[in-house]
Structure 1
């Protein structure tokens, strides 16, 4: 049901096919997992098909090793009219112990679309806790920063 589930965690083992030339999990594999978790979270919240509009602030804090258990947690931190800002944390560690360390974090913006691919309204998320208010306010500040960065990036777009 839309507007009920605001977070999801995907759990799985990293595989040899995920490895890069340095012997660690490839950043592109991590980005794919982030996109999958963001979609699952946004679709669960909105009850609609969603597309990725933005992924930013990706920070690769620590490497993920092949054979690690990986947890990709996604949480709605702000909703606009048709968009959802999703906070993502990726944690990993040895599956034989319970400790997981932060490996990656970022923000992904998903947009709900209708059958014609047009943006469609999503349920509003209203923060309930002090931490939720902080996350929402952070998302709003980041939105303002993205507008400024977007204007600066126009100079780099080849026309």
Structure 2
């Protein structure tokens, strides 16, 4: 019998009040602290979905869209957007809320690739994904597009000759000075 689960079976929400101890030198919440919360919710989401211990394999781009202030309520929402054989892509959305006015700001979104592990630390199969809405289908295709794009870039990176005359001449288009000793 094949094993499938709904996206809703993976959803996790985490809310936390931002304290002065979470701030950086400019008085905003430290990005590293938010990344730590994102990693925690990705682990919880993937483990809940797979029923296995999960590890972070990669993190796609994290763009910090707006700073988070001390005293705001930060909410992270996550769900499995894609399930492969042993890996899952967990989508995470981070918002901050002014608890006095109720105003909510989107702070960032990211995608964590998580891998399920068995008791011996080997990669372990995960359930297939049941898509129940067009929004879930869109998220699945977006994850698939990012996965395929990453594979294409790996092929290009493996075959690109960084020492070719053309590659070195192309560096003139950047804010660098090339001083390579023969």
Normalized against structure 1, the TM-score is what?
Answer: 0.90
- Post-superposition shift, 1:6? 1.7
Q: Which whole-Å deviations, capped at 9, do the CAs of 1:99-144 have from their partners, x for residues lacking one? A: 3210011110100001111000111112121111111001000001
**Equivalent of 1:67 in 64, 67, 71:** 71
Q: Structure 1 residue 12 and structure 2 residue 16: aligned?
A: yes
**Equivalent of 2:112 in 87, 108, 115:** 108
CA distance in 2, matches of 1:109, 1:134: 17
Q: Structure 1 residue 41 and structure 2 residue 41: aligned?
A: no
Q: Which runs of 5 or more structure 1 residues have no equivalent in the other structure?
A: none
CA distance in 1, matches of 2:32, 2:156: 26
Give 2:86's aligned residue. Answer: 82
Instruction: Give the number of the structure whose alpha-carbon radius of gyration is greater.
Output: 2
Give 1:3's aligned residue. Answer: 5
**Equivalent of 1:57 in 39, 45, 61:** 61
Normalized against structure 2, the TM-score is what?
Answer: 0.79
Aligned length: 154
Q: Which runs of 5 or more structure 2 residues have no equivalent in the other structure?
A: 161-182
Runs of 4+ displaced beyond 6 Å = none
Superposition CA RMSD, Å: 1.6
